[in-house]
A and B are shown apart, each in its own frame.
Chain A
């Protein structure tokens, strides 16, 4: 699971987190996390975002509140999380037990030419989540810590927030469906059944 840099490989981490996912819903922030969840297996319960930078965590909150008995995982990047950082306060106040946020932190804006993000310069997202009031947090750098990360995502003691430091190398582009209406409709049907399309 380690890249040559000695850091976690993002695809292998994603594969490990989504293996045997059960009924868990996954929201992926735009860019590499969206490609990652698609590369390890496109799924009706995946919402790979094509836009709305900064939205991932709040989409996760809306879904977690609407479906309190279902695990919701937000998998996003450091740049995307930083853009919507206020969501940490909003989510910590609402205390959704079924919501987990995992930031795959490569300390760079990977889609735009690898410019450095604030986490490269010491900004500590885990400390920010703790400060907001997240009761459970993790900081992950080693493959041996991934089983505990996965267990925390499935535990339902959230809201849970984790940063996983990952290798910055870009991976092969694996694109999800580009029509967002299909991505939304298939998830709604997977959660709500065929009546999803007949809701008044």
Chain B
């Protein structure tokens, strides 16, 4: 991770990225769609190193909603990884899940949420949960490291057991916010 990058990655000692990877394997997730976020950087590396997971890097997050629809039609489970700003790109596309009753679990790392440095992250970060819920998504937050794995597990189960869009929001409080020496 570039020390000057504006996104913050989880500490190397944090266990939760590997725990999420373990949950993807446990639930037989075969496709992972993503627009990169520093908060998901270690999880993305684990997925890329796994020959049984197809990783598709998207040009915009709404492509991932459509990709999950296609994967499910073909009998595979998929998840979408993204930053909170990307949720805004998914709004209309989420109707696919309701049209077809298609499972669509999303794992969202939050920006503009807790101690944010960048003003541009605030509008979408503040609206993320409301926007997802307005489109019928079942949203749960995880704001401590211990909460992440059980919440992600529940989000994946809820999507595939009840055929709808679901999301875990991983709070910025867990990942930490960059301050650029201004604290």
Contacts and interface: CB of A to CB of B under 8 A. Distances in A.
B135 to A, nearest CB: 12
Contact of A59 (B57, B66, B76): B66
A58 B66 CA distance: 5
A67 B56 contact: no
B179 interface: no
Interface of A: 25, 27, 47, 50-67, 70, 84, 86-87, 89-90, 93-94, 180-181, 183-184, 187-188, 191-192, 196, 199-200
Contacts of A57: 66
B62 to A, nearest CB: 7
Contacts of A181: 99-101
B51 interface: no
Interface in B45-102: 54, 56-60, 62-76, 78, 92-93, 95-96, 99-102
Q: Is the interface of A mostly helix, strand, loop or mixed?
A: helix
A66 B70 contact: yes
A184 B104 CA distance: 14
17 contacts: A51-B92, A55-B96, A56-B66, A58-B64, A62-B66, A62-B68, A66-B75, A84-B66, A86-B58, A87-B59, A87-B63, A90-B57, A93-B57, A180-B101, A181-B100, A188-B72, A192-B75
Nearest to A190: B73
Contact of B74 (A58, A86, A183, A191): A191
Nearest to A184: B100
Given A51-B95, A58-B67, A67 B75 contact: yes
Given A90-B58, A199-B75, A51 B99 contact: yes
B99 A180 contact: yes
B63 A65 contact: no
Indicate the member of A66, A180, A181 with the most B CB atoms within 10 Å: A66
Contacts of B78: 62
Contacts of B73: 25, 47, 59, 62-63, 66, 184, 187-188, 191
Given A54-B93, A59-B66, A65 B71 contact: yes
Interface string B109-147: 000000000000000000000000000000000000000
Contacts of B8: none
Q: Is the interface of B mostly helix, strand, loop or mixed?
A: helix
Interface string B133-169: 0000000000000000000000000001000000000
Contact of A65 (B54, B65, B66, B93): B54
B31 interface: yes
Contact of B56 (A59, A65, A184): A65
Contacts of B66: 52, 54-59, 62, 84, 87
A121 to B, nearest CB: 23
B30 interface: yes
A66 B71 contact: yes
B22 to A, nearest CB: 18
